Amino acid sequence: MTGSLRWTLLDAWNIARRDLLRWVANPTRILAELGFSASFILLFGYVFGSGMQVPGGGDYIEFLMPGLFAQFTAFGIGATMQEVAVDAEKGITDRFRAMPIASSAVVAGRCIADMLNSLVSLAVVFGMALAVGWEWHGSGADALTAVGLLVWLRFAFLWVGIYLGLVSPNVESVGVLWMLLFPITMLTSAFVAPELMPDWLGFLAEWNPLSSTITATRELFGSPGVTGDGSWVVRNAQPLAVLWPLVIVAVFLPLSVRRFQRLSR
């Protein structure tokens, strides 16, 4: 390992450690995230679930939970944008830029912190799912692959959040951006199968990158709702669950680093 790479990694970890300490020091935020997750599970699983249909039959909770795992992964964009925008508005980002550290270390540090937070949050959500009766029916290897796809999706969306946080002029504008993104994160196959939607809406839901991960994890977890006569997107959900995040990372990671380098110029 070269000296410059070693120092970049150390700088990234120090910034990540700072972000993690802020997260631990704010228990209200942790409780809010847990409450949000629990309310979604109860609301869609029990209030709306009684009127939902699962293609091919099966329990709606088992159909729903892989979708919610991916939804919670996508919702993390909002928290990432908020943290990045707060640092920029308070001048912390400018301080980082004035320090003799690589620009990539700053955004990488945010990435490390958010990924660790996401792993903890995902573990808690899995615990909630098991508590309400969800379980996987595939092999242990399939279940680990499904978790890997969820983490991969979170890694991709994290760079979207970092970039949008960096281009936001202030913290207030983050809420506006999130409101614009929210319909996109909801227009998926998480709650209702696309074949039960109007044709044009079902087409948009199927081609949403989130839906590929949702369908792939349903297959791997052995959850109901994935039929063999689905569209090309459904039949190739697992390769697309790898490809879509790869495309997102390839676009937004370099954009994030470049945007950080050009701040306040």
| Separation of CA 4 from chain center | 31
Helix (H, G, I), strand (E, B) or coil at 92: helix
HEC string of 33-75 equals: HHHHHHHHHHHHHHHCHHHCCCCCCCCHHHHHHHHHHHHHHHH
Pairwise CA distance, residues 76 & 71, whole Å: 9
41 Cβ contact partners less than 8 Å away, ≥ 6 residues apart: 65, 68, 125, 128, 129, 132
pLDDT digits (tens, 9 = 90+) for 173-190: 877 777 778 888 888 988
What H or E segment, with its residue span, contains residue 132? none
Mean pLDDT, the chain, whole residue set: 82
Residue 228: its pLDDT value, please? 62
Three-state SS string across 173-218, please?
Answer: HHHHHHHHHHHHHHCCCCCCCHHHCCHHHHHHHHHCHHHHHHHHHH
This prediction has a pTM of: 0.86
Range of the domain at 149: 3-262
Q: Which of 4-8, 48-52, 81-85 has the highest mean pLDDT?
A: 81-85
What pLDDT, in 10s, does the model give residues 190-243? Answer: 888 888 888 889 899 999 999 999 999 999 998 887 766 678 888 899 999 999
Residue 264 has pLDDT above 60, yes or no: no
Rounding to the nearest 10 degrees, give the CA dihedral for residues 11, 12, 17, 18. Answer: 70
Of the ranges 14-23, 52-61, 238-247, which is most confident? Answer: 238-247
d(CA 237, CA 139): 18
Contacts of 126 (CB under 8 A, 6+ apart): 69
State the first-to-last Cα distance of the chain, in angstroms, to the nearest integer: 32
User: How far, in Å, CA of 260 to CA of 105, rounded?
Assistant: 11
Distance of alpha carbon 224 from alpha carbon 3, whole angstroms: 51
| DSSP per-residue codes, 239-265 | HHHHHHHHHHHHHHHHHHHHHHHHTT-
Cα angle 36, 29, 63 (rounded to 5 degrees) comes to: 25
Instruction: Look at the chain and report how many structural domains it folds into.
Output: 1
226 token code pair: 């994935």
Task: Determine the Cα–Cα distance for residues 74 and 46; give it in Å rounded to an integer.
Answer: 22
Residue 102 has what DSSP assignment?
-
Distance CA 20, CA 199 (A): 44
**pLDDT tier, 7 (very low <50, low <70, confident <90, very high otherwise):** low
